[in-house]
């Protein structure tokens, strides 16, 4: 670890440990932007990057202040833990080496500490808006560094190590990555915050509060020049615009499924090759993503039980270290942990959508911006799921994924005193260590 990296890490760790919950959450996002995976301290063969040291400071703070005790464990929390431990346990048992066990323990460290930190620091939608106001100005310098890289093809973050010194170039265009190890994850970072800031304005935040972050996020997404984040952003914005027809969400979803089934029956190739068509519009490796899904299904017998370590014959070309380039989060989960890993990954996303649906139904009739912010989180999740069909988050971008999941898990399912007082009483009687049975009943209520 360089002296500069050590000082930055120390400052961020101190801020997280000593300041308010909102400042701690903003500091974690700052660490994503202004540290790299190249800043590492090795302890007994274990690698602690700057991000991991900062997360450890956050976890110590949570334990010292007993902030974890103030949370109510819910379905999203359970799904996240099931997903993380499923991938770790099955992969370790399949490979059966000490190095794989250490790697998976490191992944568990990242997942649990990242999610727990954001889960404790952000407890309601109002706090998310306050955090976004600060993040809007925080990412402006990062966007400027991205622009510098885009103009010069030299990455300033190479001074910290862990990233390429010279930027990737495709079709004569520089693909800026900044602090990330890949321009796709950099573009995903920008697209995610474009969704959150555009949604923040939709939910009632002022233009003065969102313009810096919106401009910075769009700049980062565009300078990454990656089709997956841009496609995800486009679909996410369409989902955001569907607010006025939110009561017909079920019809829209099932209608989309019906259209995909019809296309599957009528197209000469499987329906997932629509991704290749989208690549023709947005650029990038759309064909690779579609062909990857095709090979994933064609090799079902080799991975369904406990995953596989052999994907050499999936493509006519391979990565430098061997194997196929698994640019799909759900395919990666299946390859890592078999059908159980894939199901747990899909279940996690499904639980997030279900919690947002229950929270929105509980707030029906509430004219405040709270319901709109829930819709923003749902639209951002839609955009992220689309992006995850084109990339597997593998660097500090994973923290932003857990940031989004924690915000969704923290969505409160409350009811109107006038209309739903019965359900409110049921929620008060529910055990504190499990999700209220009233939440499930509320989602099925005939009055909603």
Residue 47's pLDDT band, with cuts at 50, 70 and 90, is confident
Q: Which of 4, 99, 103, 19 is nearest to 58 (CA)?
A: 19
Name, in order, each residue with C-beta under 8 angstroms of 300's C-beta and a sequence gap of 6 or more: none
- Strand-pairing partners, residue 173, are 170
Q: Residue 262 burial (CB < 10 Å; 0-12/13-18/19+)?
A: exposed
Report yes or no on 353 lying in a domain: yes
Structure tokens at 396: 């500090």
Name, in order, each residue with C-beta under 8 angstroms of 367's C-beta and a sequence gap of 6 or more: none
DSSP 8-class letter at 166: B
Question: Helix 207-224 vs helix 183-202: angle between axes, to the nearest 10 degrees?
Answer: 160
SS3 category, 154: strand
Residue 120's pLDDT band, with cuts at 50, 70 and 90, is very high
- Residues 249 and 263: beta-carbon distance below 8 Å: no
What does the pLDDT average to over 344-348?
96
Q: Which residues form the domain of 395?
A: 71-261+311-414
Report yes or no on 284 lying in a domain: no
Beta strands in 92-232 (DSSP E): 168-170, 173-175
- Residues 86 and 371: beta-carbon distance below 8 Å: no
Give the per-residue pLDDT at 379. Answer: 95
Task: For residues 28 and 16, give the distance between their C-alpha atoms in angstroms, rounded to a whole number.
Answer: 8
Task: For residues 224 and 69, give the distance between their C-alpha atoms in angstroms, rounded to a whole number.
Answer: 40
pLDDT in tens, 204-224: 888 999 999 999 999 999 998
pLDDT in tens, 398-411: 999 999 999 999 88
Report yes or no on 47 lying in a domain: no
Report yes or no on 268 lying in a domain: no
pLDDT in tens, 157-194: 988 888 888 888 887 889 999 999 889 999 999 999 99
DSSP 8-class letter at 309: S
What does the pLDDT average to over 13-20?
89
Task: For residues 338 and 258, give the distance between their C-alpha atoms in angstroms, rounded to a whole number.
Answer: 28
pLDDT at 344 over 60: yes
What does the pLDDT average to over 378-385?
95
CA dihedral 229, 230, 231, 236 (to 10 degrees): 80
- Residues 114 and 402: beta-carbon distance below 8 Å: yes
Residue 248's pLDDT band, with cuts at 50, 70 and 90, is confident
Task: For residues 177 and 174, give the distance between their C-alpha atoms in angstroms, rounded to a whole number.
Answer: 10
Report yes or no on 149 lying in a domain: yes
Name, in order, each residue with C-beta under 8 angstroms of 18's C-beta and a sequence gap of 6 or more: none
- Residues 156 and 63: beta-carbon distance below 8 Å: no
pLDDT at 29 over 50: yes
Q: Which of 108, 185, 234, 249 is nearest to 388 (CA)?
A: 185
Q: Which of 113, 82, 109 is nearest to 90 (CA)?
A: 82
Give the CA diameter of the chain: 64
Structural domain count, the chain: 1
Report yes or no on 252 lying in a domain: yes
What does the pLDDT average to over 259-274?
86
Report yes or no on 41 lying in a domain: no
Report yes or no on 48 lying in a domain: no
**Which residue has tokens 């579609």?**
290
């Amino acid at each position: 670890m360089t002296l500069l990296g050590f000082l930055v890490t120390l400052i961020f760790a101190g801020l997280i440990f000593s300041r308010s919950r909102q400042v701690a959450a903003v500091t974690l996002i700052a660490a994503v932007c202004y540290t790299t995976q190249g800043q590492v301290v090795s302890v007994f063969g274990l690698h602690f990057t700057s991000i991991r040291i900062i997360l450890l400071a956050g976890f110590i703070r949570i334990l010292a202040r007993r902030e974890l005790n103030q949370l109510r464990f819910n379905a999203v929390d359970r799904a996240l833990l099931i997903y993380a431990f499923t991938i770790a346990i099955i992969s370790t048992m399949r490979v059966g080496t000490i190095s794989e066990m250490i790697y998976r323990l490191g992944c568990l460290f990242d997942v649990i500490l990242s999610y727990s930190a954001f889960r404790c620091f952000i407890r309601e939608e109002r706090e998310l808006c306050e955090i976004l106001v600060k993040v809007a100005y925080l990412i402006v310098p990062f966007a400027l560094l991205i622009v510098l890289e885009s103009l010069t093809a030299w990455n300033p973050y190479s001074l910290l190590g862990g990233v390429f010194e010279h930027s990737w170039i495709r079709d004569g265009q520089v693909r800026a990555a900044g602090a990330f190890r890949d321009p796709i994850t950099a573009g995903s970072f920008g697209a995610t915050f474009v969704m959150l800031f555009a949604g923040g304005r939709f939910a009632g935040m002022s233009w003065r509060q969102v313009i810096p972050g919106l401009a910075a996020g769009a700049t980062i997404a565009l300078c990454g020049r990656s089709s997956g984040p841009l496609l995800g952003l486009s679909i996410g914005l369409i989902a955001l615009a569907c607010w006025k027809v939110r009561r017909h969400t079920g019809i829209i979803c099932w209608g989309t499924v019906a259209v995909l089934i019809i296309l599957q029956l009528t197209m000469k190739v499987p329906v997932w090759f629509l991704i290749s068509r989208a690549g023709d519009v947005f650029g990038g490796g759309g064909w690779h993503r579609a062909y990857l899904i095709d090979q994933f299904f064609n090799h079902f017998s080799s991975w369904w039980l406990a995953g596989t370590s052999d994907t050499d014959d999936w493509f006519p070309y391979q990565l430098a270290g061997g194997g196929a380039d698994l640019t799909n989060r759900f395919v990666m989960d299946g390859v890592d942990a078999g059908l159980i890993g894939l199901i747990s990954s899909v279940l996690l996303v499904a639980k997030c959508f279900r919690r947002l649906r229950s929270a929105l139904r509980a707030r029906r009739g509430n004219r405040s911006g709270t319901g709109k912010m829930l819709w923003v989180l749902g639209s951002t999740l839609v955009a992220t799921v689309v992006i995850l069909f084109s990339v597997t988050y593998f660097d500090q971008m994973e923290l932003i994924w857990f940031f989004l999941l924690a915000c969704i898990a923290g969505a409160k399912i409350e009811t109107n005193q006038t209309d739903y007082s019965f359900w409110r009483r049921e929620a008060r009687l529910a055990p504190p260590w499990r999700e209220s049975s009233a939440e499930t009943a509320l989602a099925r209520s005939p009055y909603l």
